Amino acid sequence: MKKIITIKNINYFKIKEDNEERYFYGSDQEWYPAKWQRMAGCGPSAVTNILYYLSFHGHENSQEFVLRSAYLQFMEQVWEYVRPTIQGIPKTSILKKGIMAYGRAKHLPLDVYTLDVPKEKRPDFLTVLKFIESGLAGDVPVAFLNLHNGEEKMLDSWHWVTIISLEYEEDGRKAGITILDAGSIKKVDFKKWFKTTRAGGGFVIILPNISASS
């Protein structure tokens, strides 16, 4: 049986170019002004997407879109705490540390959950699917680190993206994800990635800590 799990409103990610009728979905690290930010900014960009989406939990976003300049301001705020190393952000633990630092600085209680897919001794595929599903089912996009894309050409290696939906057969034979990457919506054969990636990757779920904020 096929299961489809998706966030509730993709249009929260709709971004308009300031001076023209051009639209994007989610952030693009190429918007950062500095060369190093553009080279290594995929992690902060993915975190920006998720935190921006979470800001609408509990109330509706009445705006049709957000201007790119305003979204970039938020990207810059996130960058101050989610800082890439000389190798970028090649571990979920590094991304988690930056997210927690952002939450403390902004007095925003957050819980961060991670699941790694190492090069060897990987978790079962259904375990990975259920982890992603646990985020999306709660209307939370999931950050996805792909260290090697394998045979899936829609993914870039050593790169973070934002998962917004998951579709899979319950026996795990087939699975696909929809992601936000470089300001666009893309479809990915997730089972192909899992079977052919040489280096694995990982996943991060960010949840507001309601009990801590009450």
27-56 per-position pLDDT tens digit: 999 999 999 999 999 999 999 999 999 999
Residue 6 lies in a domain: no
Among all chains, which residue has been given the structure tokens 């879109």? 65
| 203 domain-assigned | yes
Has residue 126 been placed in a domain? yes
- The confidence score (pLDDT) of residue 214 equals 45
Task: Give the per-residue pLDDT at 211.
Answer: 59
Structural domain includes residue 86: yes
Which domain CATH number covers 133?
A: 3.90.70.10
pLDDT under 70: residue ranges of the chain: 61-62, 210-214
Give the model's pLDDT for residue 58: 74
pLDDT digits (tens, 9 = 90+) for 179-209: 999 999 999 999 999 999 999 999 999 998 7
Q: Report the sign of the C-alpha dihedral through residues 5, 161, 96, 197, in that order.
A: positive
The range of the structural domain enclosing residue 164 comes to 11-213
Determine, yes or no, domain membership for 153. Answer: yes
Coil, strand or helix: which one is 205? strand
Query: How many domains, the chain?
Result: 1
In a domain, 185, yes or no: yes
**β 175-181/66-67 pair status:** unpaired
For residue 173, being part of any structural domain is answered with yes
Q: Which long-range contacts (CB under 8 A, 24 or more apart) does 207-211 make?
A: 207/110, 207/111, 207/112, 207/113, 207/138, 207/140, 208/54, 208/57, 208/108, 208/109, 208/110, 208/111, 209/109, 209/110, 209/111
Q: CA 179, CA 186: separation in Å to the nearest integer?
A: 5
State the pLDDT at residue 18: 96
Output b/e per residue, 109-142; b: 16+ Cβ within 10 A. ebebebbbbeeeeeeebeebbebbbbbbeeebbb
Tokens of 106: 């902004």
> Is 5 part of any domain?
no
